[in-house]
Structure 1
Amino acid sequence: MDFELKTMSLAAARTERCDLLVLLVGEGFEPAQDALSALAALALKQGDLKTSAASMLQCYAPPTVAARRVVLLGSGKGSPAELRKAALALAPLFKAGKTLKRAAFIFAQAPAQEALGALVRSLAQASYVYTTTKGKAEPRTLARVTLGVPQAAPLRAAFDAAVGVVVGVEFAREWANRPANHATPTLLGEAARSLARQGLIRCKLHGPEQVAKLGMGAFLAVAQGSAEPLRFIELHYQGAARSEAPVVLVGKGITFDAGGISIKPAAGMDEMKFDMGGAASVLGTFRALAELKPRINVVGLIPSCENLPGGKAVKPGDVVTSMSGQTIEILNTDAEGRLVLCDALEYARRFKPAAVVDLATLTGACVIALGGVRSGLFANDEELAARLQAAGEAALDPCWRMPLDEDYGEGLKSAFADVANVAGREAGAVTAAKFLQRFVGDFPWAHLDIAGTAWKSGAAKGATGRPVGLLVHYLLGLAESAPGAQRRK
């Protein structure tokens, strides 16, 4: 979907030719001498419209207005959260109208930069339709959205950033939504390779032989039960000087997780195609970087494989040697995400990173703790944690800081290896993070457990594209705070 930002008065909006014209009416609305203002003022006076977020009044072919349909939409105080709520209220309208191809959103009052960005991201979310593996599905019909504001120039940077996030989020949603037979490790590698055509991005794919030579015994153990060959995906975005230390993003890429020998229950197992949500988010973030071209260096690492109960599958009680040299007793083969991540974290050391952020649909325990609202954040560095939390709030993609006390690691002790891959049921998200921390070293590191936020179940089943928004805001913030930083043109 294409977005356009332009300066537009309410009087000029009257002549905007589109299938849908949405007038955002917030608190403090003062009507001018034009047809749209008069319509909104009358609706407010009669009580048919309120300025509270998502209050809505639809009109068809009102006189003197060029648009076929007009919606008066309450936007509250114009906060990012209220504009998101207002935009999402339009989702049924977007998906029901086959003739809705072009829409215009007009602000009665000038929006803040953060609010404009929230509206762009939310409109994309509300109109998104997955069609890749549907034979007769109707594609997204809304092809172009114009945002009319009193003055476009001061909002241009925020608008461009939001559009870049949208491109990345939709790339992530596309790959996370694909069934496992349409998103194998090999196909995920090809998706990564396609990003290298966007400019400033290089891609390197490691197969089973290369992974074995690297000594990634934990990663290999997870993959050995599947006939699908694993892929270790390595992406490089170079927007700054080569001498500048990169941020490394590590995404869990389990394209299907049956649990291995510790097999999962059949009910709901289809959703385990989403277990590569971390990998999809890394891909989506790189797609956004290609769009926005910030002056920063970023490395993406994706260990990708399937976790199946085949005849060669790793067994509970087996001991494997990780790339770091630490031995791991695999007490539960369904705790496989931490096994592929630990080798990728060790590999990340070679880049002498400024920071490492791993993201994974890692534990059901995090879903119990935080639900689908906030991702779980674990970090060994206060500045990194603060930046990620601030980025999440700005992107409406929030996370919540979780503990990493040393005492939580006691349950990972093993009589037969250096460490076990699971502890008990208590604090499962924390003990998983403590396992990963053993492989981090002394660089700033954060772990985002996105098991509750990367996808939705039920009637709204599907990938959310989170936490691409958080990651892009974090990276743009780093780029903009660097000395002499500016975005590439």
Structure 2
Amino acid sequence: MDFSIKPIEAKTGLQGVKTGCIAVGVFEDKKLSAVAKALDGKGAITAALKSGDITGKAGSTLLLRGLDGVAAERVLLVGLGSEESVSDKNFQSAVQAVARVFSGLGANEGTIALPFEDVKNRDVSWAVRCAVLAIREANYRFDQTKSKKEPEKGGVKKISLLTSATAANAAKTAAAQAAAVANGVALTKDLGNLAPNICTPTYLAGVAKKLAKDYKFGVEVLDRKQIEALKMGSFLSVTKGSDEPPKFIVLKYNGGKPKDAPVVLVGKGITFDTGGISLKPGANMDEMKYDMCGAASVLGTFRTLGELGLKLNVVGVIPTCENMPSGRASKPGDIVTSMSGQTIEILNTDAEGRLILCDALTYVERFKPAVVVDIATLTGACVTALGHHNTGLFTRHDDAHDALASALLAAGKETGDTAWRMPIEDAYQEQLKSNFADMANIGGPPGGSITAACFLERYTKKYTWAHLDIAGTAWKSGAAKGATGRPVPLLTAFLMNRANGK
């Protein structure tokens, strides 16, 4: 997919744009945008609106062919909603509609002439990124494991976005940034969608090494003996039941000054989760291949980092293993010692994500991080609380942590990859009490996503930290089953804003 930014030519105007299809906006109440008016010399667009063939509702479309006086072969009318102001939601609906139509057109080239500079409370950069990501999303497919590949879609492969000459430079930068984010999202989706017998901890380590080679990252992959030497008893307790060897992956992106404290991203990498001895029900267990989407999002974000070249230091840490039942597997009632020295009573072996993350969160102390963000498909309770729209955001309540939460929430709103802040309070810590160890690994059904975050919080006292529970946002079930690539857009925007001093 090739994107370019083109200013509107003063001499030829929109009528002179030679393309397979040009997408222009129309409003509700049968009103034309300024761009649509410029193409309506013979009144065909006005006639289509008056006839009711398109309502102007956000995301509605109508394809017209062979308009007199228009060089474009086709004109795609796209609803923008109310004429008073183009809201960001309506603009998103419009570009998603364009993406769907363009993906099935018998034209190689297309042009989008929507109001990139007129979206309420957004700038041209946001609008361009929105369009590029929508088009890349519509064209994503996964058929790596099919013996017969799906036929190549036709559709538009070269897309021009029309802006004013004054906005062209900002738009070009935004398009390049969006393409980098889309590449990271695609990698995250691919890893999530791969079968668990393919996407093992060893496979993830191979992906990390390839990224390191392609983008000159630092990389280190620790094996079982090295993990044992670090005394990561909590992590090792999860991998005991599996024949697949665990891996502990560390990636380093050094775009900032050598002495700058890094941002650390920690991704949960359970490549398949049976629940262990606390076995999950069989129905939909296949979706537990997605339990490594936290790890996949870190790898996807690093791919984007490699393309963007941001001026900051970032470390990615991925503890990865399978959670399987066997005669060697951890049992409910077992007590293990974490790398921090704190002991844990395992009451449920299906609460394993926190057991691998807690050792990773202790390990990252050595980097003296500016901030740490862990990303994990951690709890079904978060899905119950927030559904599939918002990622759960958890962090302590003080000035430093409030600032981190605000930055992450703002990045989510900026990208549409939204999060919602949940509480962490001492009252919830009471639910993790154990008669036999320093803590239990579960706190019972009430507030399950919160007590899971409280468990992790006990291992983060030496730095500023936030936890993203992506259990409800990392993948979709049903007919649309597949990884979403979230929260790569959120994480990338967060890192870009930090690099820009925001």
The alignment status of 1:244 with 2:249, answered yes or no, reads no
Flag the 1:441–1:21 CA change in 2: closer, same or farther, 3 A. same
Which stretch of structure 1 is more off in the superposition, 9-18 or 461-470?
9-18
**Counterpart in the other structure of 1:487:** none
Selected match of 1:335 from 342, 351, 372: 351
Do the aligned partners of 1:453 and 1:464 also contact (CA within 8 Å) in 2? yes
Do the aligned partners of 2:15 and 2:69 also contact (CA within 8 Å) in 1? yes
Deviations, residues 320-351 of structure 1 (Å, cap 9, x unaligned): 11111111111111101001100110011100
**Counterpart in the other structure of 2:467:** 447
Residue 130 of structure 2 aligns with an amino acid whose one-letter code is A
The alignment status of 1:126 with 2:138, answered yes or no, reads yes
* Structure-2 separation of matches of 1:464 and 1:175: 11
Residue 205 of structure 1 aligns with an amino acid whose one-letter code is V
Selected match of 1:458 from 475, 478, 482: 478
**Counterpart in the other structure of 2:372:** 356
Unaligned runs of 5+ in 2: none
Flag the 1:376–1:109 CA change in 2: closer, same or farther, 3 A. closer
**Counterpart in the other structure of 2:7:** 7
**Counterpart in the other structure of 1:344:** 360
What pairs up with 1:250-289 in 2 under 5 angstroms? 250-289=266-305
Deviations, residues 202-222 of structure 1 (Å, cap 9, x unaligned): 221111111111111111111
The alignment status of 1:144 with 2:158, answered yes or no, reads yes
The alignment status of 1:428 with 2:432, answered yes or no, reads no
Do the aligned partners of 1:129 and 1:140 also contact (CA within 8 Å) in 2? no
Selected match of 2:75 from 55, 70, 77: 70
The alignment status of 1:401 with 2:421, answered yes or no, reads yes
Flag the 1:28–1:201 CA change in 2: closer, same or farther, 3 A. farther
**Counterpart in the other structure of 1:79:** 87
Residue 86 of structure 1 aligns with an amino acid whose one-letter code is A
Do the aligned partners of 2:102 and 2:110 also contact (CA within 8 Å) in 1? no
Flag the 1:40–1:442 CA change in 2: closer, same or farther, 3 A. farther
What pairs up with 1:165-314 in 2 under 5 angstroms? 165-314=181-330
Which stretch of structure 1 is more off in the superposition, 322-331 or 2-11?
2-11
The alignment status of 1:387 with 2:431, answered yes or no, reads no
* Structure-2 separation of matches of 1:194 and 1:3: 26
* Structure-1 separation of matches of 2:116 and 2:130: 16
Q: Secondary structure at the match of 2:86?
A: coil
Residue 467 of structure 1 aligns with an amino acid whose one-letter code is P
Which stretch of structure 1 is more off in the superposition, 63-72 or 374-383?
63-72
Which stretch of structure 1 is more off in the superposition, 358-367 or 180-189?
180-189
Residue 161 of structure 2 aligns with an amino acid whose one-letter code is L
Q: CA deviation at 1:356?
A: 0.2
**Counterpart in the other structure of 2:60:** 55
* Structure-2 separation of matches of 1:92 and 1:437: 43
Residue 23 of structure 1 aligns with an amino acid whose one-letter code is V
Q: CA deviation at 1:171?
A: 1.3
What pairs up with 1:85-100 in 2 under 5 angstroms? 85-90=93-98, 92-93=100-101, 96=104, 99=106
Across the two proteins, how many residue pairs are aligned to each other?
A: 481
Q: Secondary structure at the match of 1:180?
A: coil
**Counterpart in the other structure of 2:391:** 375
* Structure-2 separation of matches of 1:272 and 1:68: 47
Unaligned runs of 5+ in 1: 483-489
Which stretch of structure 1 is more off in the superposition, 376-385 or 46-55?
46-55
Flag the 1:109–1:169 CA change in 2: closer, same or farther, 3 A. closer
Residue 128 of structure 1 aligns with an amino acid whose one-letter code is Y
Residue 319 of structure 2 aligns with an amino acid whose one-letter code is P
* Structure-2 separation of matches of 1:343 and 1:109: 46
Deviations, residues 126-185 of structure 1 (Å, cap 9, x unaligned): 221112112222345553322122231232333332222112111111111111122111
Which stretch of structure 1 is more off in the superposition, 29-38 or 376-385?
29-38
Do the aligned partners of 1:200 and 1:239 also contact (CA within 8 Å) in 2? no
Query: What is the TM-score of this pair, normalised by structure 2?
Result: 0.90
Deviations, residues 4-38 of structure 1 (Å, cap 9, x unaligned): 22223595555555544322345772357743675
Do the aligned partners of 1:332 and 1:422 also contact (CA within 8 Å) in 2? yes
Do the aligned partners of 2:375 and 2:469 also contact (CA within 8 Å) in 1? yes
* Structure-1 separation of matches of 2:2 and 2:469: 32
* Structure-1 separation of matches of 2:395 and 2:108: 44
Aligned identity (percent) is 47
* Structure-2 separation of matches of 1:400 and 1:374: 6
Deviations, residues 188-242 of structure 1 (Å, cap 9, x unaligned): 1111111113335222111111111111111111111111111111111111111
Q: Secondary structure at the match of 2:127?
A: helix
Flag the 1:276–1:140 CA change in 2: closer, same or farther, 3 A. farther
**Counterpart in the other structure of 2:147:** 135
**Counterpart in the other structure of 1:485:** none
Deviations, residues 30-86 of structure 1 (Å, cap 9, x unaligned): 357743675444433444334432021112444554544432112334333222212
* Structure-1 separation of matches of 2:36 and 2:111: 19
Q: Secondary structure at the match of 2:500?
A: helix
**Counterpart in the other structure of 1:486:** none
The alignment status of 1:35 with 2:2, answered yes or no, reads no
* Structure-2 separation of matches of 1:193 and 1:379: 31
Aligned-residue Cα RMSD (Å) equals 2.2
Q: CA deviation at 1:317?
A: 0.9
Do the aligned partners of 2:20 and 2:72 also contact (CA within 8 Å) in 1? yes
Residue 401 of structure 1 aligns with an amino acid whose one-letter code is R
Flag the 1:192–1:65 CA change in 2: closer, same or farther, 3 A. farther
